[in-house]
């Protein structure tokens, strides 16, 4: 991904410049808002990425859309515009949220199930995830009926596959080898 290193540097700089946990949390909420807004609106993303639209117009648009954000967030947008790096805004926002969560000991994971999770099952999976990582985990539930039953828990590059389809495939492999 082009500019990923620069995005990490900007995100680290913003995280280093926050003065307290409350401000870091506020900036994190802003960064999530920015990332979701850009990812969810193709036209808005195109405006930010466009080399045809001048920096002044981009700044005016961004100031209007994100007018209720923290002063550090506004400062980041200003610096990115000044350095002609505003196209990195989405990446910087995403990297900031990742770095913030790392600093708070929060991991993100995905659990794939055949049906929606019940609150009791979600509690058990969160306990399993915490045991796997030693961190608090924010889980997203993805439904895939093809796994038949069970679950697939993925946190970063660690995966725990307890799906029925996986067990059936293991049995199939075992029988074809014998």
**CATH assignment at residue 23:** 1.10.520
Indicate if 98 and 62 belong to the same structural domain. yes
Alpha helices in the chain (DSSP H): 4-17, 21-40, 42-49, 55-65, 71-82, 89-103, 119-133, 164-177
d(CA 104, CA 135): 9
Indicate if 26 and 93 belong to the same structural domain. yes
Would you state the pLDDT for residue 2? 62
Indicate if 145 and 112 belong to the same structural domain. yes
Over residues 58-68, the mean pLDDT reads 94
d(CA 30, CA 163): 37
| Residue 108: strand pairing partners | 138
Indicate if 154 and 129 belong to the same structural domain. yes
Token duo for residue 59: 């700044």
Q: Which domain holds residue 122?
A: 107-177
Other CB atoms closer than 10 Å to residue 142's CB: what's the count? 11
Indicate if 65 and 124 belong to the same structural domain. no
Indicate if 74 and 117 belong to the same structural domain. no
Chain centre to alpha carbon of residue 173: 36
pTM: 0.77
- What is the phi-psi region of residue 134: left when phi exceeds 0, alpha when psi lies from -120 to 50, beta otherwise? left
Indicate if 167 and 152 belong to the same structural domain. yes
Indicate if 37 and 78 belong to the same structural domain. yes
The dihedral of CA 162, 164, 165, 168: what is its sign?
A: positive
Q: Tell me: the pLDDT tens digits for 128-156?
A: 888 888 889 999 999 999 999 999 999 98
d(CA 71, CA 18): 10
How sure is the predictor about 178, in pLDDT bands with cuts at 50, 70 and 90?
Answer: low
How sure is the predictor about 177, in pLDDT bands with cuts at 50, 70 and 90?
Answer: confident
Q: Which of 45, 70, 102 is the last residue of a domain?
A: 102
Over residues 75-100, the mean pLDDT reads 95
The domain tally of the chain equals 2
Token duo for residue 176: 């074809």
Pairing of strands 150-155, 106-113: antiparallel
Indicate if 92 and 59 belong to the same structural domain. yes
Indicate if 114 and 88 belong to the same structural domain. no
Eight-class DSSP state of 138? E
Indicate if 137 and 71 belong to the same structural domain. no
């Amino acid at each position: 991904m082009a500019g990923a290193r620069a995005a990490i540097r900007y995100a680290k700089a913003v995280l280093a410049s926050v003065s307290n946990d409350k401000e870091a949390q506020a900036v994190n909420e802003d960064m999530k808002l920015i990332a979701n807004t850009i990812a969810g609106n193709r036209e808005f993303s195109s405006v930010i990425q466009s080399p045809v639209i001048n920096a002044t117009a981009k700044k005016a648009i961004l100031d209007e859309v994100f007018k209720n954000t923290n002063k550090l967030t506004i400062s980041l947008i200003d610096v990115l515009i000044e350095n002609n790096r505003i196209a990195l805004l989405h990446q910087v926002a995403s990297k900031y949220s990742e770095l913030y969560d790392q600093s708070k000991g929060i991991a993100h994971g995905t659990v794939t199930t055949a049906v929606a999770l019940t609150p009791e099952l979600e509690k058990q999976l969160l306990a399993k995830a915490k045991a796997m990582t030693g961190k608090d985990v924010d889980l997203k539930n993805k439904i895939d009926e093809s796994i038949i039953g069970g679950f697939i828990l993925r946190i970063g590059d660690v995966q725990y596959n307890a799906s029925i389809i996986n067990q059936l495939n293991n049995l199939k492999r075992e029988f074809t080898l014998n």
